[in-house]
Structure 1
Amino acid sequence: MSTSALYDAGPFSSPFDDADVCDISDACDRLDIPAVRTGSIKPMYQGCAPIVGTVSTVTLVPGAGAPFDSLVEAFAGADVMLVDLGGRTDVQCWGTVLATAAGLSGVRAAVVNGAVRDTSDLAEMRFPTYAAGTHPAGMRGRLVFAGAGADVLIAGRPVSPGWVVAADLNGVVFFPADRADRVLALAREIAAAERDMLARVREAGDLTTALHLMANRTDTDRR
């Protein structure tokens, strides 16, 4: 199986053709959806693909364990893995071995509330990986598997299994899956309105007119 087949962007990838995480976040605001956002979880290598998908969750905690087998079992049927380390960056829980196992299991991406390693190899694999940082030490003997399917606290707010995650260079947004179609559709509308407004600003040719256009955007335009 080729790398591109392993890490196909999947059915939720299309918003990033014409919208981004900021537009998705704004759509959640417009629809009064209780989204969870963070700018502290970032792509772990240059050129990391944006992702939109449904999260499955696993939790790891410090301890003298070997959590690899339990993690791999949790990959079954998962789309995007949300791995919770409680935001810690003094240990890590994701690298090329787990990414390879995840890809072979059909997982398309990883979002880690904590640190990862092997970023150059993850880049070579083109496995989309978002995390709070990096740490070089192995996880064996440092982490134990605490369970799967629990809510994960991101920026102090709970993210539930089955929620949608969107991630790119701007950060990460999580929101309930039952509103995904409306959120993604509105995000495209917001992005299109923004592009149209910016085109009119550039065509205005002077600062006064440009400021007037920006100050009088419609509700759809506002970000």
Structure 2
Amino acid sequence: MYELGVVYRHIPRPDRTAADGLATLGSATVHEAMGRVGLLDPGLRPVLPSQQISGTAVTVLLQPGDNWMLHVAAEQILPGDMVVAAVTSPCSDGYFGDLLATSFQARGARGLVIDAGVRDTYALQEMGFPVWSRAVSSRGTIKATLGSVNIPLVCGGMWVNPGDVIVADDDGVVCVPSAMVACTLEEALERERMEDAKRAQLAAGVLGLDLYRMRDPLAKAGLRYID
């Protein structure tokens, strides 16, 4: 059961350097580095392609067809944050558009992840404000029912706590628990170094069959070559 009608003003945020470092690695590498956990539903897609960002989560619980709490949340944004919004019941209405984006940008928000709809997508693209959403809809919302800001919530099927780090790009959105940011960054950097080495071998003509030692397992599985 969610806590309603509250705004937590002071949330713990992890080391900014480590949080920012995850953006350079991307969602796939970070997801793998955490042991293939933390990935939000792939139905959350970017409105503005070719973005690769990270930021600390300011969470917002919304009510169906009501974006009141997004306005409340704007006051809690610090530079480097990403707003993560969920709804108490599925809704595809356009909760967020260029006016709220202008407000969020002025506060230093890096983007929005919302398990609902957005609108004004052309303007959002022109502004260069990154958004990952479940839907796009011209249908607007009202401002009448309280939700909450900076409480733990489920967005895209993933539990997100205020202050967790969100990594988002064209491949998807990943939530890194704040306590795991430093170790995830270290593991992700090591994966990146290993992939760079493999990439060099593949570029030199080495086959994945040999690089990953696949030939014996394939033979044991019954693969036959016929000339």
Range class of TM-score, shorter chain:
0.7 to 0.9
Q: Structure 1 counterpart of 2:35, which letter?
A: D
Aligned counterparts, 1:16-35, within 5 A: 16-17=23-24, 19-29=25-35, 35=38
Kindly tell me: are residues 145 and 127 of structure 1, through their superposed partners in 2, closer, same or farther at Cα, counting changes over 3 Å? Answer: farther
Tell me, yes or no, if the aligned pair for 2:48 and 2:128 is still in contact at 8 Å: no
Deviation of 1:20 after TM superposition, in Å, equals 1.7
Aligned counterparts, 1:126-205, within 5 A: 126-140=128-142, 144-204=145-205
Matches of 1:130 and 1:50, distance apart in 2: 12
Q: Structure 1 counterpart of 2:212, which letter?
A: M
Tell me, yes or no, if the aligned pair for 2:69 and 2:149 is still in contact at 8 Å: no
Which structure 1 segments of 5+ residues have no match? 1-9, 217-223
Deviation of 1:75 after TM superposition, in Å, equals 3.5
Matches of 1:61 and 1:36, distance apart in 2: 24
Q: 2:13 matched to which residue of 1?
A: none
| CA-based RMSD | 2.7
Deviations 1:14-54 (A, max 9, x none): 4444x221110111118xxx63433221211233x211111
Tell me, yes or no, if the aligned pair for 2:94 and 2:117 is still in contact at 8 Å: yes
Secondary structure (helix, strand or coil) at the match of 1:93 reads strand
Q: Structure 2 counterpart of 1:106, which letter?
A: G
Aligned counterparts, 1:56-67, within 5 A: 56-62=58-64
Matches of 1:168 and 1:77, distance apart in 2: 19
User: Does the alignment pair 1:53 with 2:51?
Assistant: no
Q: Structure 2 counterpart of 1:27, which letter?
A: A
Matches of 1:65 and 1:176, distance apart in 2: 26
Deviation of 1:195 after TM superposition, in Å, equals 2.5
User: Does the alignment pair 1:124 with 2:126?
Assistant: yes
Tell me, yes or no, if the aligned pair for 1:50 and 1:128 is still in contact at 8 Å: no
Larger deviation, residues 53-62 vs 85-94: 85-94
Tell me, yes or no, if the aligned pair for 2:160 and 2:175 is still in contact at 8 Å: yes
Q: 2:212 matched to which residue of 1?
A: 214
Matches of 1:145 and 1:129, distance apart in 2: 23
Kindly tell me: are residues 14 and 67 of structure 1, through their superposed partners in 2, closer, same or farther at Cα, counting changes over 3 Å? Answer: closer
Deviation of 1:202 after TM superposition, in Å, equals 3.2
Q: 2:45 matched to which residue of 1?
A: 42
Matches of 1:93 and 1:174, distance apart in 2: 22
Percent identical: 24
Matches of 2:22 and 2:71, distance apart in 1: 34
Matches of 2:66 and 2:172, distance apart in 1: 32
Matches of 1:83 and 1:154, distance apart in 2: 7
Deviation of 1:160 after TM superposition, in Å, equals 1.0
Q: Structure 1 counterpart of 2:164, which letter?
A: W
Matches of 1:75 and 1:65, distance apart in 2: 16
Q: Find the structure with the greater CA-based Rg.
A: 2
TM-score normalised to structure 1 length: 0.76
Tell me, yes or no, if the aligned pair for 1:202 and 1:210 is still in contact at 8 Å: no
Deviation of 1:145 after TM superposition, in Å, equals 3.5
Matches of 1:137 and 1:165, distance apart in 2: 27
Matches of 1:64 and 1:53, distance apart in 2: 25
Deviation of 1:73 after TM superposition, in Å, equals 3.4
